[in-house]
Amino acid sequence: QSEIYRAGISGTKPLVPVDSDALEAAAGKALSAEAFAYIAGGAGAERTVAANRAEFGRWQLWPRPLRDVSARDLSIEFLGATRPTPLLLAPLGVMEMAHPEADLAVARAAASLGIPYTLSNQASFPMEEVRDAAPAGSRMFQLYWSASDELNASLLRRAEASGCEAIVVTLDTHLLGWRTRDLDLAYLPFTRGMGIAQYTSDPVFQQLVRERARAATPSDAPPVKITPKAVAAGVTIARKGRALTGAGLRDSLRSPLPRAAVETFLDVFSTPALTWGDLAKAREWTSLPIILKGIVHPDDAIAALDAGVDGIWISNHGGRQIDQSVPTLAVLPTIAERVAGRVPIVFDSGVRQGSDAAIALALGATAVAIGRPYSYGLGIAGEAGVREVLRNLLAELDITLGLSGGTRITDLDRGVLREA
Ligand code: FNR
């Protein structure tokens, strides 16, 4: 905090805007129209996006002076370890839209602040490369439960082998939301071969692609030589397709390998048939802690406990899945009460400032996850931009804690809140 103010005294301008609306506006200028629409957008008329934000206005913080708050500590206990801050990075797919270094830059920024990074199943780099970019960083792997159990098992094996600390299974995307901005731009990054690096680097997925490409090749055509390297190379061509437009793009996807990879991805990336009963399989595939992301109903939180999971992640995907959905902050108190400390609760959707994080923590969240804001920092200034967004959030959280009369995160409870 004092570092940030001192930089101001010396006239050093911030790298990214401090105000969260200004940050979003700056990202709007830095990114392509498609990338910004994809990242900033929500489902339908974006009423869930707005409601997530509005809900924070229902709570006020109650300042308490004269309590000696000169030594403050933002650390929390999470999944059996002490973390220096209560922030986590939410999984964001297709970050190559924001910056070419995408997940590698994010992983480095997160590691430099000791913030655990949840790496998306739809990331732009394979999880092993993300580990190599920031080997000391704490990572979790986010899984979209694939229609292929073999692929699920393979992804979780790789997550474990590459040092992830937990598996986050996202439950709210068994169907892709009605994303109006993307529909108007006819933009789905995956169909252009972006955001599928975890898949194309996976041996099980490569086998599925080979089977599909073989089936799609007419029997009188000369045999296509399909090696794992060729699959990866083919998909690289498709990824570079974002630089192509119109006919060029269509041509690159017309060659059998990238097209088969994209089509295979679209077939297997999720399954609307998933039920509570299926979750038990994840326990066979991994010994890592399992967190369920996308819980918004208190009964589902209890069902998650009954299923024996290690954590609950309250999220409505940042308002990107259902319009007019319940805002996450509105359901946090009831879920926290029913869970009663038995497992940690991660909270996200709509956190834009340190004071938002303070309110969520006071209402029972163990940790608070950030989504869009760090992608805006990434789009504006790469790794340094991500770092600055996170430092600003932490500085404001630290100030808010101290001004509320607290010195530890556990001091943030109902006692610091008043309903507006
Ligand atoms: C997401 N989110 C997401 N969630 C997930 O489980 N896997 C994913 O790959 C993605 N991808 C993704 C991309 C983009 C561009 C956005 C904005 C969001 C949802 C994300 O993890 C988180 O739940 C929300 O972003 C939190 O809301 P805020 O902080 O963006 O309001």
Please identify, by atom number, the ligand 1 atom nearest to the C-alpha of residue 350. 31
264-315 pLDDT tens trace: 999 999 999 999 999 999 999 999 999 999 999 999 999 999 999 999 999 9
Residue 182 lies in a domain: no
Single pTM value for the model: 0.95
pLDDT of res. 4: 76
Looking at the structure, tell me whether residues 110 and 208 fall in a common domain. no
Q: The domain that contains 22 carries what CATH number?
A: 3.20.20.70
324-373 pLDDT tens trace: 999 999 999 999 999 999 999 999 999 999 999 999 999 999 999 999 99
d(CA 26, CA 167): 33
CB atoms within 10 A of CB 174: 15
d(CA 133, CA 345): 28
User: Quick check: ipTM above 0.95?
Assistant: yes
Q: Which residues of 122-133 are buried (b: 16+ CB within 10 A; e: fewer)?
A: bbbbbbebbbeb
d(CA 330, CA 101): 36
Q: Ligand 1 pocket: which residues have CB below 6 Å? A: 38-39, 90-93, 120-122, 142, 170, 293, 315, 317-318, 320, 348-351, 370-372, 375
| Domain finish residue from 242, 267, 292 | 267
Looking at the structure, tell me whether residues 412 and 391 fall in a common domain. yes
Looking at the structure, tell me whether residues 280 and 256 fall in a common domain. no
Which of 120-134, 215-229, 259-273 comes out lowest in average pLDDT? 215-229
184-216 pLDDT tens trace: 998 889 888 899 999 999 999 999 999 988 887
Looking at the structure, tell me whether residues 344 and 403 fall in a common domain. yes
d(CA 56, CA 47): 15
Q: Domain range spanning residue 373?
A: 2-176+271-419
Least Cα distance to 268 among 219, 211, 217 occurs for: 211
Q: Say how many Å lie between the CA of residue 176 and the centre of ligand 1.
A: 12
- pLDDT confidence tier of residue 224, bands split at 50, 70 and 90: low
Q: Say how many Å lie between the CA of residue 200 and the centre of ligand 1.
A: 21
Q: What residue's CA is closest to ligand 1, atom 23?
A: 317
Please identify, by atom number, the ligand 1 atom nearest to the C-alpha of residue 351. 29
pLDDT of res. 242: 47
Q: Say how many Å lie between the CA of residue 2 and the centre of ligand 1.
A: 31
Looking at the structure, tell me whether residues 276 and 359 fall in a common domain. yes
Mean pLDDT throughout 120-146? 98
d(CA 39, CA 211): 33
d(CA 284, CA 145): 14
pLDDT score of 223 more than 80 = no
Q: Say how many Å lie between the CA of residue 92 and the centre of ligand 1.
A: 5
Mean pLDDT throughout 102-118? 98
Do residues 261 and 200 touch, judged by C-beta distance below 8 A?
Answer: yes
Active-site residues: which are they?
317
Q: What share of the chain is helix, strand, coil (3-state, %, to 5)?
A: 50, 10, 35
Which of 197-206, 232-241, 355-364, 402-411 comes out lowest in average pLDDT? 232-241
Looking at the structure, tell me whether residues 22 and 152 fall in a common domain. yes
Could you give the number of structural domains in the chain? 2
pLDDT score of 74 more than 90 = yes
Looking at the structure, tell me whether residues 285 and 163 fall in a common domain. yes
Using alpha carbons, list the distances in angstroms from residue 36 to 91, 136, 286, 361. 17, 31, 36, 29
Percent of the chain with pLDDT over 90: 83
Q: Which residues of 298-307 are buried (b: 16+ CB within 10 A; e: fewer)?
A: bebbbebbeb
- pLDDT confidence tier of residue 420, bands split at 50, 70 and 90: very high
Looking at the structure, tell me whether residues 206 and 79 fall in a common domain. no
Pocket test for ligand 1, best of 320, 328, 351, 370 (most atoms within 8 A of CB): 320
Mean pLDDT throughout 46-59? 98
Record the tokens describing residue 118, joined without a space. Answer: 């949840």
Please identify, by atom number, the ligand 1 atom nearest to the C-alpha of residue 95. 15
